Amino acid sequence: MFDQIPRQRPHTPLLDQIDDPAQLRALPEKQLPQLATELREYLLYCVGQTGGHFGAGLGVVELTIALHYIYNTPEDRLVWDVGHQTYPHKILTGRREQMLSMRQQGGLSGFPKRSESPYDTFGVGHSSTSISAALGMALGSPDERRVVAVIGDGAMTAGMAFEALNHAAHTGRDMLVVLNDNRMSISKNVGGLATYFARILASKTYLSMREGSRKILSVIPKAWQLARRTEEHVKGMITPGTLFEELGFNYVGPLDGHNMQDLVHTLRNLRNQRGPQLLHIVTTKGKGFGPAEEDPVGYHALNKLEPEPKVQVAAPETKKKGPKYQDIFGQWLCDTAALDDKLIAITPAMCEGSGMVDFAERFPERYHDVAIAEQHAVTLAAGLACEGQKPVVAIYSTFLQRGYDQMVHDVAIQNLDVTFAIDRAGLVGEDGPTHAGSFDLTFMRCLPNMVIAAPSDENECRQLLYTAYQHKGPAAVRYPRGTGPGVEIKQEMTELPIGKARVIREGASVAILSFGTLLAPAREAAERLGATLVDMRWVKPLDEELINRLADSHELLVTLEENTIAGGAGSAVAEYLNQRIRPVPLLQLGLPDKIIEHGKHQKLLAEIGLDAKGIEEQIRRRIEAMGNNNFNGQAAAI
């Protein structure tokens, strides 16, 4: 057990010999526990240096070694669910010396990524895709290939996982699903499935008998079939794997997921079993690092350790960071719930990240963590709205993609009073493209009945959340990961006019129409260009009266959004301008139509021209392209 995160690279002589799993498979089995110790210590050191996902990887150190030891990876396919637990996998598959580049621009992705390694068989990041992908690989491969999906108890709560289990059983294809049950999602895992798993683990009779039989089994593999027949006779008494058995899987478990010998022997047996197999292992999230075992929520992810101070110096007065947008939402939620008992808040397993811990504690009867079930979260809200409640769905932009049909079919078409608080809108930095909220303005803007707000700062976020909540119909407010520019937040909540923008500065020739939090860099660019600057506030409905006025009095309109340009807020303005008799040149700035890899958020924005300098430069290039003689405006002269 480690209780400190090593700040110097630990001595790992055995691990240093493993540059690929073939070298791992050449080790005598008795050396595997030592390898696990070294791998765990190296993982602690690396994540201490870089930050990133932490507890989940510690929990699968033994499993990762056993899987690569028994399966002929990458020929045999190993598909990880979510993928936040794959740092040990990356270390063992040739990337040990690249780990200090984790989640940095140009460095390793924090999730499996096909372009990064042949051992990363499937790109993940969103949960519950592993069984589907693994089955697809199995059906698309020669029979002799073995395919394994590793899915957590949290990811197993998503409907998609059961869609895949259902089909896998139908096909009867040989495959293994390893259910890594640590009783944790990011928060504690919730729901009937979690309770069911807990009952299995608590069934002492089952465990002692199975433990006993497995002890025999592990040394006499041939007895495996005999014991299974024996077990059939007692199955009536004990129902640990019933759920999966009834779905057509052969259930094996629960197994101690940190017992290397059991894992190796059981996987060796299972590798040769025909048909769909499910191995249920029990692990501890954060295993081997005391503080993470004690606080698996807090150690789900880790910021990189501050370098140890050479000498104790008073920390310089650094600018106090403002609150995170998630906490502005959480505060608004509690304040509004105190005023309106019809408010019910829903999160699909992202309580902490959505800023809802306080709300959950203060209003437990009006708080629903529905587990990893975004589709259900949205339609649950629709059902609540049918009964006159005022549900608020707190959801990351990227995860809302999973509940889009429900947003269309169950909320927008029925014009139900559901408020969507959409966090992580825009680029999210180190989590990369699987987690970026790049598309929500595009996929929501086309829905009838929706109103969509894009606040530009912390106070606007609070006021627009209040306004959207008061609106009697489907309403969305999208805001980014992290903190804002640090404006004063008015406690008083005011209902703002829907579809009305606010002019920030009057200029000439160029008018910048900013949608959301890029208003800060836009302000700098506008001042340098002498341009008009507008905080549009609403993507839908647009402030058409103002757009007309600006189009009549400026030579170039510029839209700005941290959403894909394709179909985004700027496209809404373009569609509106197309109706005018006198056209006006329009420049749409936003996320380009390409995958933007992981890296520091501000650096990524600068690279795509969405920092102040880039915005100004893109506008100047457009002015030049218009031909300065056609452009009499002041901006051309600067």
Ligand X SMILES: CC(=O)[C@@H](O)[C@H](O)COP(=O)(O)O
Q: Annotated binding residues for Mg(2+), as ranges?
A: 153, 182
Interface pick for ligand TPP out of 152, 254, 322, 433 (rule CB under 6 A): 152
Which of 55, 154, 429, 568 touches Mg ion (CB under 5 A)? 154
Q: What is the distance, to the nearest Å, from the Cα of residue 40 to the centroid of all Cα atoms in its chain? A: 24
- What tokens were used for 446? 């086309």
Strand partners, 487: none
The interface with ligand TPP within residues 172-201 (CB under 6 A) comprises: 182, 184-186
Q: Which of 35, 58, 65, 82 binds ligand TPP (CB under 6 A)?
A: 82
Piece of 94-102, 340-348, 423-431, 618-626 that binds ligand X (CB under 6 A): 423-431
Q: Which one of 336-344, 410-418, 427-435, 622-630 is the stretch in contact with ligand X (CB under 6 A)?
A: 427-435
Alpha carbons within 13 angstroms on the beta-carbon side of residue 281 total 32
Please identify, among the stretches 233-241, 378-386, 428-436, 551-559, the one whose residues bind ligand X according to the rule CB under 6 A: 428-436
- Residue 402 interacts, among Mg ion, ligand X, ligand TPP, none and using kind-specific CB cut-offs from 5 to 8 Å, with ligand TPP
From candidates 35, 44, 65, 184, binder to Mg ion by CB under 5 A: 184
Burial letters 33-66, b for 16+ CB under 10 A, else e? eebbbbbbbbbbbbbbbbbbbbbbbbbbbbbbbb
Residues 444-503 interacting with ligand X (rule: CB under 6 A): 481
Q: Is 101 exposed, middle or buried (0-12, 13-18, 19+ CB in 10 A)?
A: middle
Q: Can residue 276 be called a binding residue for ligand X (CB under 6 A)? A: no
- Looking at beta carbons only, is 182 or 277 nearer to ligand TPP? 182
Binding residues for thiamine diphosphate: 84, 125-127, 154-155, 182, 289, 374
The yes or no reply on residue 366 touching ligand X (CB under 6 A) is no
Eight-class DSSP state of 560: E
Q: Does 152 bind Mg ion (CB under 5 A)?
A: yes
Sheet with 367-369, side-by-side order of all strands: 367-369, 343-347, 390-396, 419-423, 475-478, 451-453, 538-540
Q: Which of 210, 366, 402, 478 is catalytic?
A: 402
Give the pair of three-digit tokens for residue 390. 């005022």
Give the residue, chosen from 18, 149, 217, 349, that forms a contact with ligand TPP under the rule CB under 6 A: 349
How far, in Å, CA of 423 to CA of 69, rounded?
41
Nearest to 561 by CA among 586, 532, 592, 604: 592
Q: What stretches of 326-467 adopt beta strand conformation (E)?
A: 343-347, 367-369, 390-396, 419-423, 451-453
Note if 285 is an active site residue. Answer: yes
Give the Å distances, CA to CA, from 80 to 2, 43, 288: 26, 18, 21
Which tokens go with 468?
């959207």
**Helices 32-50 and 260-271: crossing angle, nearest 10°?**
100
Q: What are phi and psi of 450, to 5 degrees?
A: -75, 140
Pick between residue 254 and residue 585 the one whose CB is nearest to ligand TPP: 254
Strand, helix or coil at 302? Answer: strand
Is residue 107 within the footprint of ligand X (CB under 6 A)? no
Q: Given candidates 38, 41, 153, 262, which one binds Mg ion under the rule CB under 5 A? A: 153
Task: Tell me if 57 contacts Mg ion by CB under 5 A.
Answer: no
Question: According to CB under 6 A, which residues from 375 to 404 bind ligand X?
Answer: none
Strand 276-282 versus strand 77-80 pairing type? unpaired
Catalytic annotation present for 495: no
Pick what 424 binds: ligand TPP, ligand X, Mg ion, none; C-beta below 5 to 8 Å, kind-dependent.
Answer: ligand X
Residue nearest to ligand X (CB): 353
Cβ-based nearer residue to ligand TPP, 347 or 588: 347
Q: Write out the binding residues for ligand X, residues 55-84 only, by CB under 6 A.
A: 82, 84
Pick the closer one to Mg ion by CB: 190 or 412.
Answer: 190
Under DSSP, is residue 528 helix (H, G, I), strand (E, B) or coil? helix
Binding-site ranges for ligand TPP (CB under 6 A): 56, 59, 82, 84-85, 126-127, 152-155, 182, 184-186, 285, 349, 372, 399, 402
Binding-site ranges for ligand X (CB under 6 A): 82, 84, 301, 353, 424, 428, 431, 435, 481
Residues assigned a catalytic role: 285, 374, 402
